[in-house]
Chain A
Amino acid sequence: MDEIIIKVQGLRKTFKKLRKKEGFLSSFRSLLIRDFERIHSVKGIDMEIRKGEIRGIIGPNGAGKSTTIKMLSGILFPTEGTVDVMGFTPWLDRERYVRHLGVLFGQKSQLWWDLPPIDTFLLIKEMYRIPEEDFKARLNRFKSMLQIERIIYQPVRTLSLGERMKCELVCAVLHEPPLVFLDEPTIGLDIVSKETIREFIKQMSRDKQTTFIVTTHDLADIENLCDRVTIINKGTIVFDDSMERLSSYFSNRKVVEIKFTQPVEEKLLDSYKVISSGAMSVSIEIDTGEFDLKKVIFEILDRFPVLDVNIMNIPIEEVIKHIYSHEEKVVGYGEKVGVG
C-alpha cells in the first residue's frame, strides 16, 4: 500500500499567450506586431501518489488542475520539473506509457457516436492486445456491476447520458491499467448513476489496486470516493491531505444549529455570530479558541426555549470556499490558519 506510483517535483508550465486587443483595426495590427504575455499556469507543484489510492484533485476553474493532469498524462510538455510515473516520464515515453493508463473525460466522448459501445470495446481490445478470455471475463463483470447488459448493443446516440458515462468508464478500465485519470466522471448524472459509478471505482481500487486520480467540482465525489485530496489554486498546491483532515479543517470553529419551541426575538441573539436564522431556528458559529463551547451551549439552553441542538463542523463547502479564496499555503494539519 506504500508503494509510490507517481512522484512530481517542481512541475511548472508557462504558456505564451497572444495578447489581443479589442477592435477591428487592432486585429490587423496584431498580424504585424505580436504582443505575447506569459501565463504561469502551474507554478511549481510537488506531490506523491501511492498505489491503490483514490486521489481527488480539486480547484477553481483556471487554477491549473487540467494543465497538471495533462502533464501527468503525457499530452503536454512542462516548462520545468520532473514527473515519474511507474518509471516513465509521461511526455517523453508517451507511446509506451499510455498503455498503462486509462482515461475518462466526462465532457468528451471516446465512443463512436453511430455505433453500439461494444464496437468501441472491441477496438480497445485490439489496441491494448487484451486476450480474448480476459476481455470476455472483464466485460461480463463490468456489465453486471454497471447494469449495462443490454445497452452496449445499442447505438451510442440512443443512450442516456448516464448510460453513456458508464460505457465511457468501461473504455477507461477495460485493459485494467494500474493508473486511471477520471476528469469529472459524474458530470450531469443523476444521484443513482453517480452512486453506481462511485461504487464501481471503489471496487476497482479495492480488487485490482488500481490508482485513480479524480478531478471534479462535485464535492460529493470527493467525500464519498477519495482517500486523499489535493487542492490546487492559482497554480500551486494549497492543500494536500486526507479527507478527514479537510472536513475538520477549521477544528477551532463549530456551527451550532438550534431549534426553538417558540419564536425568539432577534435582538437577544446579538451577542452571538449568527450565520443564518429562521422564525423558529438559528445557526451560530462559535470560535472555540475564544469561547468555551460547553459554556456557550449551557448559556443558550438556559436563556432560550430550546427544542433541539446540533453541533457540527464547518461544512466542507465552506472550507473549500475559504481555501479557494485565500492564497497562502495551508498544507498540513494543525497549522495556524488565518481566518478572515
Chain B
Amino acid sequence: MRIFLKSIHIALKVNLAYPRDYLISLVIYPFILILNIHLFTSIYAYSEVSHIKGYSLSQMIWYYGATTFVWIFIFNFTDRRISNYILTGELGLRLLRPVSLFQYEMANAIALRIVGILFEFIPGMVIYSLIYSPNFLTIASLLKFFAVVALAFVLNYVLNFIIGVTAFITQNNAGFKRLMGAVTTLLGGAMIPLDFFPGWLQTVCDYLPFKYLFYEPVRFFINHGDISTAEAFYRVIFIDIAWIAALYIIAKIAWKLMLKNVVVAGG
C-alpha cells in the first residue's frame, strides 16, 4: 500500500511538472456550454415541453458538460502506455521491478486523475455553474455521483489494461484503440443519451459494460429522475463491481498468457 501511495505521489509530481497545460483546456469549456444552452433552449421552446425523455432543460444542457466531467474522472491512457512499453522494450525494465504492471499503471492513472480533478473538474465546475446554474444538484446526488464515477474509473482502467495487453499480439494496437474509443463513446452514451436509441440497441447496451462508463455516471450527476431511488443506486454499484471483477479476471489471464510469448524488444 505504501508503495502504491508513493507511486501516486511520484506520478503527481511528474504530472505537475508542466501545470500550464491544464489551464489552457479550461478556456474551451465555456464555448461548449454556451453552444449547448442555445441549442437546447431553442429545441425545448420549439417542442413546447418541459421534459424530453425525462430530461429537463437544465439537465439536458448539462448532459454534455457532465460527459466532459466524467471523462475527467475516468480518463487514462494505460492502453497506449502498455503498447509503448512493448514497442520500445521498456517492458523489460517494468518486469524487473517487484511491483506488478497492473498496480504500477493503476497508481499512475489515479495520480493523473487527481491532477485532472484539481485542475479541470473543480475550476470547470465553477465556470459552468456561473454560466448556467445546476439547479438539479443536491449533496446526496453529488455523493452518489462520486461513488459511481469512481467505479467507472476502475472499470475503464481494467478495460484499457486489456486493450494494452492486446498489443502483445498486434505490436501496435492503435487501430483497436480507435475502434474501442468509438464504441465506448457511442454505446457508452457520451455522444447522445442512450434514451434516444431504439429499444433493441438499448437492450444491447444493457448487456455491455460501456454504459457504466458514461451514461450511468452522467445520469447520477444530473440527478435524473430514474435513478433517484436507493435501489437504483445499489443496482448500478452492484453491476459495476460485477463487471470490474469479470474483466479483472480476463485481464489477469490475458496477461499471464501473453507474458509467456512476450519478446522484449531491444538489446
Q: How far is the CA of A105 from the CA of B13 in the complex (A)?
A: 24
User: In the complex, what residues of A have CB within 8 A of residue B261's CB?
Assistant: 77
Pick from A105, A112, A126, A183: contact of B3, CB under 8 Å: A126
Q: Does A7 contact B (CB under 8 A)?
A: no
Selecting from A95-103, A242-250, A273-281, the interface stretch reads A95-103
Per a CB cutoff under 8 Å, which of B3, B260, B262, B266 touches A127?
Answer: B3
Instruction: Give the interface centre of A15, A110, A123, A183 by most chain B CB atoms within 10 Å.
Output: A123
B6 engages A122 (CB within 8 Å) = yes
Q: Is the CB of A76 within 8 A of B262?
A: yes
Closest beta carbon of chain B to A147's beta carbon, Å: 25
Q: How many residues of B contact A (CB 8 A)?
A: 27
Q: Please name the residue on chain A nearest to B92 by beta carbon.
A: A75
A105 to B264, CA, bound (A): 13
Query: For residue A102, which residue of chain B has the nearest CB?
Result: B96
Please name the residue on chain B nearest to A119 by beta carbon: B10
Chain B CB within 8 A of A73 CB: yes
Other-chain contact of B92, A65, A105, A119, A120 (Cβ < 8 Å) = A105
Cβ–Cβ contact B93 & A94, under 8 A? no
Per the 8 Å Cβ criterion, residues 60-92 of A in contact with B are 61, 65-66, 70, 73-77
Pick from A15, A77, A103, A120: contact of B96, CB below 8 A: A103
Is B130 positioned at the interface, with any CB of A under 8 Å from its CB? Answer: no
Instruction: Please state if A123 and B92 are interface contacts (CB–CB under 8 Å).
Output: no
List B76-120 residues whose CB lies under 8 Å from chain A: 89-93, 95-100
Name the interface residues of A199-252: CB closer than 8 Å to any CB of B: none
A112 to B93, CA, bound (A): 13
Taking A70-B264, A75-B96 as contacts, is the C-beta distance between A112 and B89 under 8 angstroms?
Answer: no
B246 within 8 A of A: no
Q: Which residues of A contact B97 (CB under 8 A)?
A: 98, 127
Q: For A115, give its contact among B10, B98, B267 (CB under 8 Å).
A: B10
Contact (Cβ within 8 A) A112 B10: yes
Provide the bound-state CA to CA distance between A334 and B28, in Å: 78
The answer to whether B17 has its CB under 8 Å from any CB of chain A is yes
Complex-state Cα separation, A96 to B99, whole angstroms: 10
Q: Which residues of B contact A70 (CB under 8 A)?
A: 92, 264
List of B residues within 8 angstroms of A99 by Cβ: 98
A22 on the B face (CB < 8 A):
no
Q: Is A108's beta carbon under 8 Å from chain B?
A: yes
B14 touches A123 (CB 8 A): no
Whether A114 sits at the interface, judged by CB under 8 Å, is yes
B98 x A127 contact (CB < 8 A): yes
Question: Is B7 interfacial (CB-CB < 8 Å)?
Answer: yes
Residues of B with C-beta under 8 A to A74:
95-96
Q: Mark B242-267, 1 if CB is under 8 A from A, else 0.
A: 00000000000000000111111011
- Quick check: is A128 within 8 A (CB to CB) of the other chain? yes
- Find chain B residues with CB under 8 A from A112 CB: 10, 13-14
Contact of B264 with A76 in the complex, beta carbons under 8 Å: yes
Give the shortest distance, in Å, between A168 (CB) and chain B (any CB). Answer: 11
Pick the contact of B17: A114, A126, A128 (CB < 8 A): A114
Tell which of B14, B89, B98 touches A108, judged by Cβ atoms closer than 8 Å. B89
Q: Which residues of B contact A108 (CB under 8 A)?
A: 89-90, 92-93, 266
Q: How many Å lie between the Cα of A122 and that of B9 in the bound state?
A: 11
Q: How far is the CA of A96 from the CA of B7 in the complex (A)?
A: 20
CA distance A95 to B97 in the complex (A): 8
A214 to chain B, nearest CB (A): 14
CB-contacts of A2-24 with B (<8 A): 15
Q: Chain B contacts of A15 at CB under 8 A?
A: 263
- Identify which of A65, A94, A123, A183 contacts B95 (C-beta below 8 A): A94
- The distance in angstroms between the C-alpha atoms of A76 and B3, with both chains bound, is 26
Please tell me if the beta carbons of B99 and A127 are within 8 angstroms of each other in the complex. yes
Q: Is A126 touching B89 in the complex (CB atoms < 8 A)?
A: no
Shortest C-beta distance, A16 to chain B (Å), equals: 9
Interface residues of B in 1-23 (CB under 8 A from A): 2-3, 6-7, 10, 13-14, 17
Give the chain A neighbours of B91 by CB distance below 8 A: 75
CA–CA, A98 and B95, complex, Å:
8
Pick the contact of B93 from A110, A123, A128 — CB < 8 Å? A110
Chain B min CB distance to A313 (Å): 31
CA distance A126 to B260 in the complex (A): 28
What distance in Å separates the Cβ of B65 from its nearest Cβ neighbour in chain A?
Answer: 32
B98 touching A95, Cβ below 8 Å: yes
With both chains docked as a complex, state the minimum distance between the C-beta of A106 and any C-beta of chain B, in angstroms. 10
For the complex, give the distance between the alpha carbons of A107 and B92 in Å.
12
When chains A and B are docked, how far (Å) is the Cα of A8 from the Cα of B26? 58
Q: Which of B6, B100, B263, B267 contacts A76 (CB 8 A)?
A: B263
Residues of chain A contacted by B14 (CB below 8 angstroms) = 112, 114-115
The interface centre, meaning the residue of A95, A105, A126 with most chain B CB atoms within 10 A of its CB, is A126
Closest CB of chain A to B86's CB: distance in Å? Answer: 12
**Beta-carbon nearest neighbor of A75 in chain B:** B95
One digit per residue, 1 when the CB lies within 8 angstroms of any chain A CB and 0 when it does not, for chain B 31-72 equals 000000000000000000000000000000000000000000
Q: Which of A65, A77, A123 contacts B260 (CB 8 A)?
A: A77
Complex Cα distance A185/B72, Å?
42
Q: Which residues of B contact A105 (CB under 8 A)?
A: 92-93
Known: A70-B92, A73-B96. 11 other contacts (CB 8 A): A65-B267, A66-B266, A75-B91, A76-B263, A76-B264, A99-B98, A103-B96, A108-B89, A119-B13, A127-B3, A127-B98
CB<8 Å pairs between A and B, sample of 8: A15-B263, A75-B92, A75-B95, A76-B263, A95-B100, A101-B96, A107-B266, A110-B93
